[in-house]
Amino acid sequence: MKNMTNRTLKLGFVPLTDSAPLITALKRGYFAELGLDVELCPQNSWSTLRDKLQSGMLDAAQLLAPMPLASTLGLDGAKVAMKVPLVLSQNGNAITLSKHLVDEVLSLNKLSDLPFPMPAKLLQASVDKRKKEGKEKLRLASVFPYSCHQYQINDWLRQANLLEHVDVITLPPSAMAESLVAGMIDGFCVGGPWNAKSVREESGVTVLTSYHIWKDKTEKVLAVTELFFDQNPELLIRLVTALIKACEWLEPQINRFEAARWLQQSALSDEPLDTIAPSLLGSCITQATKSPQLVPNYNRFMSSIEESINRPLDIGQKWILTKMREANQISISVKSIELDKLAVFENSIFDEAMKRIKEAQL
Amino acid sequence: MAIKISKNTHSDKVLSILLIDDNPERADALLKALQHSRYHINHIVSSGVSLLKQVNDLKPDMVVIDIESPDRDILDSLHTLSSFNPKPIVMFAEQEDSDTITQSVKSGVSAYVCGNADPSRVRAILDAALARFEDYQSVKQELVSTKNKLEAKQLIDQAKRLLITTKKMSEEEAFHSLRKMAMDTGQKMEDVSKTIISLLNTIK
């Protein structure tokens, strides 16, 4: 197909296992097939990714699902209206606790083995012990205040009424493993390959995945500013088409190892393949001495069974807004009716892209 | 971790700056540029969780950080912690990027961005960032107080309406009885209104 524009489209992301659709679209040549010249721009922090997208230094970005909503509502950084034309993945995160804490949980609960998924109530004894001894609270880390990770920690702890008794801080994904070893945190919720990294280093034990907390919910999305959305519909349809094709390619497990290799060769070149591949293959490694757990939907990019999980729907947007409310991130003075009017998740581009994909298959 | 302290010889008020930058040459340039100024610099490299401790211990008046540092998310999240007072944050970006980003953050968020440290400009940039931050904080506080006043008025109106419908009072009587209750109990009118609203709604 002829070149769509005479300029390079800059697509920003934070390198993680679930960046696979972006890398796949590039390696499989889907961007080029659609006449797009896409440059993938890895970033070191979610806030800088957000700022660069808001200011137009990046044309599009793979964001944590709550981020475009926070930007549109002006909760964080500048207030810039955004659109989500595509959902890129579901699940993909996990909670890993320090080896030290897991040993304590086992001994305080008189257990020889940790159940998987681990219920948060097993932390109760450790919480009580710290309180009794006048020690600092348990401290977990998430990757960003406006992240599913944050809300997943909240929901997991809430099941056992422990939310008030545990501190939750923010750390960049790449700093998690190191901070766990240094004893700065007792655990974290992060995406791949960072859980597997701590397990391989034998400093952490993965106790459950985000699939066990929220079964099959939106995790990463493609986001653009509303301005870009309004001005570049054709460009966006093609970008979304290329990424849908990548998600489609990633659906069968037979292709997943190739994706792991590509990630290792590009965005995650500092990390070994044995930390990147497992989650993509539906394998949750939990600790060095144990057999991995089967979690088929650990990284989900598309589903041939369900109606497309990639279609950005109002119901998905509502779920996240509810979690933001529960985390007190949206002021009570913002009325529900105003939130109902928000149309950040917008399916028109996705529908047009799917129509074209189907027509091309005829 | 390298901590360097710049000398400050004269100033009305010493302002402490936490500088997070992995580029040693740029950090040095900044330290030099701010010698003999009211700014007192503590330099650290990107450090992950220990940044929290640094902020806690040093209680800086301002943070200067490289836009490409992974520590940015930690800093951003500090604003969601109630124990952390808002601070002006100045970001260093490459020269060609800085104009674009500066425009987007003009609306008065935490960040102010400038290009590579140009010694002659750096002091002026920090002064401007500080002034702008203070302006923004006062505007924000004004907004909050206006909003509170509006919410109070709404509460009082709602309580009055309830008294009028359920107790068959006139508007004036309703207002006077609210004011009397407020004076008798030493509470604000909006607090009394809140109690009345919840009481009358339960009885109904």
pLDDT in tens, A217-228: 999 999 999 999
The arrangement of secondary structure in B15-117, i.e. its CATH architecture, is 3-Layer(aba) Sandwich (3.40)
Name residues 128-167 of chain A within 8 A of B (Cβ). Answer: 141, 143-145
The arrangement of secondary structure in B145-203, i.e. its CATH architecture, is Orthogonal Bundle (1.10)
pLDDT of A351 over the 90 cut = yes
pLDDT of B6 over the 70 cut = no
Percent of chain A with pLDDT over 70: 98
Shortest distance between the Cα of A120 and any Cα of chain B, in A, equals 24
Q: Does B86 touch chain A (CB under 8 A)?
A: no
User: What pLDDT is recorded for position B109?
Assistant: 43
User: What pLDDT is recorded for position B9?
Assistant: 42
Q: Which among A77, A145, A169 has the least Cβ separation from residue B52?
A: A169
Domains of chain A (ranges; CATH) run 9-90+217-269+300-361 (3.40.190.10), 93-213 (3.40.190.10)
- Residue A98 contacts residue A187 (beta carbons within 8 Å): yes
Distance of alpha carbon A337 from alpha carbon A321, whole angstroms? 12
Contact A333 B151 (CB under 8 A): yes
Domains B15-117 and B145-203 belong to one CATH topology: no
Task: Show residues of chain B in contact with A141, CB under 8 Å.
Answer: 49
Could you read off the pLDDT of B59-74 as tens digits, one per residue? Answer: 888 888 888 888 888 8
Shortest distance between the Cα of A234 and any Cα of chain B, in A, equals 25
Contact A78 B50 (CB under 8 A): no
Nearest CA in chain A to B67: A48
- Residue A243 contacts residue A23 (beta carbons within 8 Å): no
CA dihedral B19, B25, B30, B33 (to 10 degrees): 160
- Residue A25 contacts residue A19 (beta carbons within 8 Å): no
Task: Show residues of chain B in contact with A329, CB under 8 Å.
Answer: 80
Contact A44 B80 (CB under 8 A): no
Q: Does B97 touch chain A (CB under 8 A)?
A: yes
Q: Does A55 touch chain B (CB under 8 A)?
A: yes
Shortest distance between the Cα of A216 and any Cα of chain B, in A, equals 26
Could you read off the pLDDT of A84-135 as tens digits, one per residue? Answer: 999 999 999 999 999 999 999 999 999 999 999 999 999 999 999 999 999 9
Between B98 and B79, name the one with better pLDDT: B79
pLDDT of A192 over the 70 cut = yes
pLDDT band at A163 (very low <50, low <70, confident <90, very high): very high
pLDDT band at B115 (very low <50, low <70, confident <90, very high): low
Task: Show residues of chain B in contact with A10, CB under 8 Å.
Answer: none
CB burial of A292-320 (b: ≥16 within 10 Å; e: otherwise) equals bbebeebbbbbeeeeebbbbbbeebbebb
User: What pLDDT is recorded for position B8?
Assistant: 42
In one-letter notation, the amino acid at residue B84 is F
pLDDT band at B11 (very low <50, low <70, confident <90, very high): very low
pLDDT of B112 over the 70 cut = no
Q: Which among B49, B70, B147 has the least Cβ separation from residue A174?
A: B70
Strands of chain A, DSSP E: 9-13, 38-42, 60-64, 82-91, 93-98, 138-142, 166-170, 187-191, 204-209, 218-225, 283-284, 293-294, 299-300
pLDDT band at A22 (very low <50, low <70, confident <90, very high): very high
As a whole number of Å, the CA-based R_g of chain B is 25
The structural domains of chain B, with segments of one domain joined by +, span 15-117, 145-203
Contact B67 A48 (CB under 8 A): yes
Task: Show residues of chain B in contact with A178, CB under 8 Å.
Answer: 48
Could you read off the pLDDT of A263-320 as tens digits, one per residue? Answer: 999 999 999 999 999 999 999 999 989 999 999 999 999 988 877 899 999 999 999 9
Nearest CA in chain A to B99: A55
Distance of alpha carbon A91 from alpha carbon A86, whole angstroms? 16
User: What pLDDT is recorded for position B153?
Assistant: 86
User: What pLDDT is recorded for position B7?
Assistant: 44
Q: Which among B49, B103, B104 has the least Cβ separation from residue A175?
A: B49
Task: Show residues of chain A in contact with B69, CB under 8 Å.
Answer: 44-45
User: What pLDDT is recorded for position B101?
Assistant: 59
Task: Show residues of chain A in contact with B147, CB under 8 Å.
Answer: 333
Q: Which among B49, B50, B72 has the least Cβ separation from residue A47?
A: B72
Distance of alpha carbon B21 from alpha carbon B36, whole angstroms? 21
Contact A175 B69 (CB under 8 A): no
- Residue A186 contacts residue A169 (beta carbons within 8 Å): no
As a whole number, mean pLDDT of residues B172-188 equals: 88
